[in-house]
Amino acid sequence: MRVMLVAAEAAPIAAVGDLAQTVPALAIALSQLGHDVQIVIPHYGQIALPGEMPVSFTFPLETRAGATFSIAVTELTLAETADGPHPVTVTLIGNDYFFTNRPQVYGYHDDAYRFAFFNLAVLHLLQHQKVLPDVLHTHDWHTGLLAVYMKMTDDARLIPIANVFTVHEIMYQGTAQAELLDFAGLGWEVFQQDGLEFHRQVSLLKSGLVYSDLVSTTSELYAAEIQKAEFGAGLEGLLQSLHAKICGITEGVDDQRHDPGTGVGLPASYTPDDLRGKAVCKEAIQQELGLPIHSEIPIVLLPARHSDQGSIQLLKGIAGYLQRLEVQLVIYGGKVPEVEALFSHMPHGPSTYVQVEPNPELVARLWAGADILLMPPRLKPRTEELRLALRYGTIPITYGIEGMDSNLIRRFDTRTGEGSGFMFAPYTPTELQRTLKLALDTYDRVSAWNQLVANSLSLDLSWATTARKYVDYYDKAIAERQKAATTD
């Protein structure tokens, strides 16, 4: 299968957020499964190419308004795949005005126009390619217009290409004034409620939702939650109507970089069959963070970057309970004053709390040394912390609905010894406190806790698993495209 992944960023070439890690990780996993993969991103001014890498080819792009732009296409190979049987090609779409002369990825007043231009350029790139992809996999609002371009094309070569659109964050919708349609070369017939119109503006994200063959999100839970008024960011009605073509596919973990079994970046290694190294990692992180060294007191890790008003209110409801517990609370991430204020009066002694600034070099040691991950936000479009916790045998406490993301977290059953974490629902302080107490009671039962940690370490959270699920989804999208092509 030939797959083209189109996104705004891809590490290490251009990286701002988590999206940059997801795109190449999926591409590498797909290539290792034997598929031909191409990544397409804009050629930003910040991108430093090795040596004097020449432009592969150029072509003109004329907008409907009559303006002509020059597109410079540069192709390179993703380094991690260079020696493999299926190297991943990275294609950079360059234009001096919109990308090359601008150092930043985002943050310009005309970002909607910049990425509309990028979408149009990718459409023209496809027309110039001799070998076309079977599937176009686009990501977030920056690539949403490709769906409408592909749906409306009269190019017979492009019509069979299936389009899967992934929503990583529903809150970012890429809105602009309706005049963008003229620039994008789209007719005003798409400016309607079941098209691109959103509160009298154009939404590039909505284009991806409406016109793609299938839609995915980063987890089953996220796919369900964004169809509710509370989290749909105004698009919940549309998402409900599109329910049949939306699914959640949980992302993976770099299981070579994060492997407690080899002890990469850790003071000791450990496996499901031998957990002694986990205790070594705990003592080492207590010493590194200046925490009292106590093996019997659990380290509870709280990622601050996911703190929203809902989770802060939830934490306020259990703050008094938490302060009375014998735990060592580690708040990881940027400073969140409202969260810090809740725990600044925790008693010092064996139980205490510490604030840790974001540090990629610390991640493996911190996740390996911690015992419990307290993940209170209800809406988690990205579950990186949860996956890392499970990978290192740090047991999560998180909001969840039984049966969703079952490959990620299953509620631990103390009778059978099955499960990999603790989930609470409904979303109330009372239920979170009850679940936290259950987790701590289980922690005190050494054999039960060791079984839970072993279960966590035994999970398959690899990108290969994610890639295989996407291949199945791509096959479904191809079938949907073929069905639509015969009825159009």
CATH number for position 137:
3.40.50.2000
Q: What is the domain extent for residue 17?
A: 2-252+465-487
Whether 329 and 407 share a structural domain: yes
- The 10s digit of each residue's pLDDT in 339-366 is 777 777 666 556 687 888 878 889 999 9
Domain assignment present for residue 265? The answer is: no
Whether 453 and 469 share a structural domain: no
Check residues 159 and 384 and name the one with the higher pLDDT: 159
Whether 421 and 454 share a structural domain: yes
> Is the pLDDT confidence value at 25 over 70?
yes
- The 10s digit of each residue's pLDDT in 186-239 is 988 899 988 899 999 999 999 999 999 999 999 888 899 899 998 899 999 999
Which pLDDT score, from 0 to 100, does residue 289 have? 93
- The 10s digit of each residue's pLDDT in 138-162 is 999 999 999 999 999 999 999 999 9
> Is the pLDDT confidence value at 29 over 70?
yes
Whether 247 and 290 share a structural domain: no
Whether 381 and 410 share a structural domain: yes
Whether 13 and 129 share a structural domain: yes
Whether 326 and 179 share a structural domain: no
Question: Tokens standing for 301?
Answer: 């890790």
- The total number of structural domains that make up the chain: 2
Which pLDDT score, from 0 to 100, does residue 310 have? 79
Domain assignment present for residue 258? The answer is: no
Give yes or no for a contact between 138 and 208, defined as CB atoms under 8 angstroms apart: yes
Which pLDDT score, from 0 to 100, does residue 488 have? 61
Domain assignment present for residue 264? The answer is: no
Alpha carbon distance 68, 149 (integer Å): 19
- The 10s digit of each residue's pLDDT in 391-423 is 999 999 998 877 666 567 889 998 899 999 999
- Quick one: average pLDDT of 285-310? 87
Domain assignment present for residue 260? The answer is: no
Whether 230 and 107 share a structural domain: yes
Q: Is 98 left (phi over 0), alpha (psi -120 to 50) or beta?
A: alpha
Whether 38 and 102 share a structural domain: yes
Which pLDDT score, from 0 to 100, does residue 58 have? 92
Averaged pLDDT score across all residues of the chain = 91
Domain assignment present for residue 268? The answer is: no
The strand pairing partners of 413, in sequence order, are 418
Which pLDDT score, from 0 to 100, does residue 371 have? 98
Whether 102 and 21 share a structural domain: yes
φ/ψ (deg, to 5) at 190: -85, -5
Whether 319 and 222 share a structural domain: no
Domain assignment present for residue 269? The answer is: no
Domain assignment present for residue 333? The answer is: yes
Domain assignment present for residue 194? The answer is: yes
Which pLDDT score, from 0 to 100, does residue 480 have? 93
Whether 369 and 383 share a structural domain: yes
- The 10s digit of each residue's pLDDT in 76-109 is 998 888 888 889 999 999 999 999 999 899 999 9
